[in-house]
Amino acid sequence: MARYYSIPSNLTTIKFCLLFPLLVGMVSAQLSSDFYATSCPNALSTIKSAVESAVSSEARMGASLLRLHFHDCFVNGCDASVLLDDTTTGQGEKNATPNASLRGFEVIDTIKSKLENLCPGVVSCADILAVVARDSVVALSAPIWSWPVDLGRRDSITASSAAVNSNIPSPTLDLSGLINAFSYKGFTAKEMVALSGSHTIGQATCGNFRTRIYNETNIDSSYATSLKSNCPSTGGDSNLAPLDVTSPTSFDTAYYTNLINKKGLLHSDQQLFSGGSTDSIVTNYSNNVGALITDFANAMVKMGRLSPLTGTSGQIRKNCRKAN
C-alpha cells in the first residue's frame, strides 16, 4: 500500500507528546467498554459473529478489517471517516492513494445493517471498526490476544483525502521516519514495533515491495528469489505476497522472527531490525509472546483513543458510507 506522511517541527511533536497522556485521560473518561450494555446489549455478540463468519470464509479478511481501524484512527482520529464514500463535492479518504488497497467495507456494511435492525441509530460506525479490529485478531489467534474495547465514539460527517496523504506512514520509510510518524500520534518506538506486529497477517502488493526485492541487500536471497516469481521487475503491480511468509493467517510472533532472518516483505518492516534502536524490541517479541500480547493490546487500546468524537459531536450514521 502506497502511503505518505508529513511530520511537523520537532517542537510541535514534543508539545503534542507532552499533552498526549492528558488527552488520552480525558477521552478515557468519555468512553467505556460497557457503553452499549443497556442501549444495545447484543451489539458485541452480533459483531463478533459477523467477523468470525467473514474470517472463516476468507482468512485474509481479518487483516483487512484490522487495517481499516488503523487507517481510520491515524487520519483525524477514530471517527469512521475512512468509511465515507466520495461525494459530488469532493474526494474522501477511501480513494486517496494510501487507501487504494483498503477492503472489507462490505463486511462493515453487513454488520451495520444487523445492528440497525437490532437497535436503530445506537451503535456508531467508529465503534464497529474498533470492535471488528479486536475480533479479527481473536479470530486469527486465540482469546488470550483479546483486549477491552472502549466504546462511545461517534461518527464524522466529513472525510479528507489530503489528511490521508499527510498522516498514513509509507512502506518506504526508514526507521527514523517510522519513529517520527508514530511519535506524532503519541506512540513510543516500542509501541510502534508492537503495532507493526499486525503484519503477521495480511498481504501487500508487488508495487510496494518490488524495489526491496530487486535493489536492497538486507534481504534473504532465497526469499527475494521466491518473491520475484510473482513480482516481476515490471508489471504485476497488484500481485500479492504475504507480509508474514511463515504463518500468514495466524496472529503470532513469526513476523518478528522473519525480520531477524531478513525476511521482512516491506522496506519499512525490515527497518525495525536493521542495526538500529528497535532491534532489541524485535528480538524480545520474537521469543516472548506474552510481552507481545500485552504490548500489542495496550497499543491497540491507545490507538482506539485517538481523537474520537464523543458527546454531541458528529452523529451516529445510519449507513456507514454516508452522513445521515
Which residues make Cβ contacts (< 8 Å) with residue 217, sequence separation at least 6? Answer: none
Burial of 305 (0-12, 13-18, 19+ CB in 10 A): buried
Closest CA to 256 of 292, 211, 310: 292
Residue 267 bears catalytic tag: no
> Quick one: residue 179, left, alpha or beta (phi over 0 = left, psi -120 to 50 = alpha)?
alpha
Separation CA 314–CA 27 (nearest Å): 15
Catalytic residue, chosen from 69, 71, 199, 267, is: 71
Q: Cell for 188? A: 513510543
Residue with grid cell 479470530, as numbered in its chain: 139
For residues 208 and 2, is the Cβ–Cβ distance under 8 A? Answer: yes
Give the relative orientation of helices 189-196 and 175-183 as an angle to the nearest 10 degrees.
Answer: 100
Stated length of the chain = 324
Three-class secondary structure of residue 71 per DSSP = helix
What 8-state DSSP symbol labels residue 148? P
**Active centre residues (catalytic):** 71
